[in-house]
Chain A
């Protein structure tokens, strides 16, 4: 059995790391917008790193569990509740048959993630479970989730070792009103004047309402080009910043594979999640880093993930070692006796 959608939320889809290997044929990658929250959600459950999750935007879904499983909720703080009681985010939570997961409202961030220890049973299409809404493939019937959809699980996986240790103290999308995104300039920064680059790197840009999984249009000071920004179409990467008419557009998970506008810069991979968690009206600044610095940030984050893995796999001392428990108890008594 699995999980039934009672209320779908605004834009709730099944995503993994995307459909790679077909970009040469014009096929977009899709996949999660915030890879950091996605990675941590799977990590908390010892899931494969690329396991499909539910991604939701601005309004969370209401889900009824028709069988037991373990979940982890990460990303923006949507105030998750199970059977009307608040639960901790970034924590493995055991769900019983009949439990209802819902969200009281988006407090921080913009997107949330739910990972499942029993794995969502939707077909692999071209190597991925990601929903590509434009093509109507992947995920649950190639579309966003609707009321009454029932997603079944692939496995009965209801036990995780060190269950009580599986919690991380993370709350990272507070104070998101203004963020600074590190960018690597290029590949077509030479299409812009020196003044244009300076405007881009010093200006404050506002996330407009034109913000979806495909891209994020920013409002702010005009970026001066040397003589237009039309180029012979070339390939696009996750986080490329096009400047079609003086204003930046950041291309995200559901981007096209190719485009005909000069790209002034590309966001450092580790900073894309920050943007993915921005709401319309929030502001963004850009600061340039070298490609080597950006690569180092990826390696640093990888080490951070490794430390998370170690943290959640620590044996839960209170449960396992009676000596330690006894010691702590005796401390309590000493304090009480003072």
Chain B
């Protein structure tokens, strides 16, 4: 399916390429493949890009490339028919401990859904989640595809501090907190991995278009993995 892109100015140093107007894996795949195309065929003067659900913001330097020219280049690239199934998306395995202090809200989520805690864990860790985009804070993944049965409204009163690594559900979405921050999501587990680490060569683990799979682990494994993450010997698997 070929669609034309709507390109509009965002001030004098950025343009927004809109590839659709709904949240769907197909439209998001077009966004991701446009990012890929820009990487493969760089546009001189184009800088940081921000891929989101159904659009791509491209920053550029108007001293190097004109608005008209960058629009033309991007519209040419967006018209290219790229088959996304050729791309090998990464699936990141994220170990999660779903018990004890790490999962303060899991019983509430289970009770509300009329399920057992074990069933909630099975459902939550039972599928791969597409990372539609990263935003809100460094490395915060907006994931698609949370099973309807465990959709849970946010807390009425947000927590003042949520620890980095917390895995939560906010309405129809699930995600991982990359750093300590306030937040209103219901917490059902925690990963010992650092999804964000400014001292690492790749500070943020994932990119939009990758997938996440949650792998249940025991408390003892959590401590063991955490120790390896801290001393740098942990190997991330995807």
Contact = CB atoms under 8 A, between A and B. Distances in A.
A28 B50 CA distance: 11
B97 interface: no
A240 interface: yes
Contact of A232 (B23, B59, B140, B198): B23
B136 A26 contact: yes
A268 interface: yes
Interface majority SS (helix, strand, loop, mixed), chain B: loop
9 contacts: A23-B50, A24-B48, A25-B206, A26-B140, A27-B138, A234-B55, A237-B57, A237-B59, A240-B10
Contacts of B54: 232, 234
A295 B203 contact: no
Interface string B197-215: 0100001101110000000
A263 B138 contact: no
A68 B48 CA distance: 38
A292 B12 CA distance: 8
A23 B47 CA distance: 10
Contacts of B82: none
B110 interface: no
Interface majority SS (helix, strand, loop, mixed), chain A: mixed
B67 interface: yes
Contacts of A25: 134, 138-139, 203-204, 206-207
B138 A24 contact: no
Nearest to A259: B135
B67 A187 contact: no
Interface residues of B, number: 47
A276 interface: no
A22 B51 CA distance: 11
Interface in A104-157: 125-126, 134-135, 137
A174 interface: no
B153 to A, nearest CB: 18
Contacts of A257: 50, 134-135
Contacts, number: 151
A297 B138 CA distance: 33
Contact of B50 (A24, A187, A298): A24
List the 10 shortest-distance A-B pairs measured between CB atoms, nearest first.
Answer: A235-B57, A266-B11, A235-B50, A258-B135, A294-B12, A26-B134, A237-B14, A25-B204, A295-B62, A291-B9
Contacts of B48: 20-24, 29
A71 interface: no
Given A29-B48, A232-B53, A238-B11, 18 more contacts: A23-B59, A24-B50, A25-B134, A25-B138, A26-B134, A126-B203, A186-B9, A186-B10, A232-B22, A232-B23, A234-B57, A235-B50, A236-B57, A257-B134, A258-B50, A263-B10, A269-B12, A298-B62
Contacts of A287: none
Contacts of A20: 47-48, 59
Given A234-B57, A240-B10, A26 B137 contact: yes
A186 B207 contact: no
A26 B133 CA distance: 8
B74 interface: no
A194 interface: no
Contacts of B140: 26
A24 B32 CA distance: 11
B16 interface: yes
Interface of A: 20-29, 125-126, 134-135, 137, 183-184, 186-187, 232-240, 256-258, 263, 266-269, 291-292, 294-295, 297-299, 302
Contacts of A256: 135-137
B77 interface: no
B59 A24 contact: no
B84 interface: no
A24 B137 contact: no
A259 to B, nearest CB: 8
B63 A184 contact: no
A252 to B, nearest CB: 13
B52 A295 contact: no
Nearest to B71: A291
A42 to B, nearest CB: 17
B41 interface: no
Contacts of A240: 10-11
Contact of A268 (B11, B16, B178): B11
Contacts of B208: 24
A58 to B, nearest CB: 26
B35 A295 contact: no
B49 interface: yes
Given A137-B198, A234-B52, A266-B11, A295 B66 contact: yes
A187 B204 contact: no
Query: Which of B8, B12, B67, B178 has the largest number of chain A CB atoms within 10 A?
Result: B12
B135 A233 contact: yes
B187 interface: no
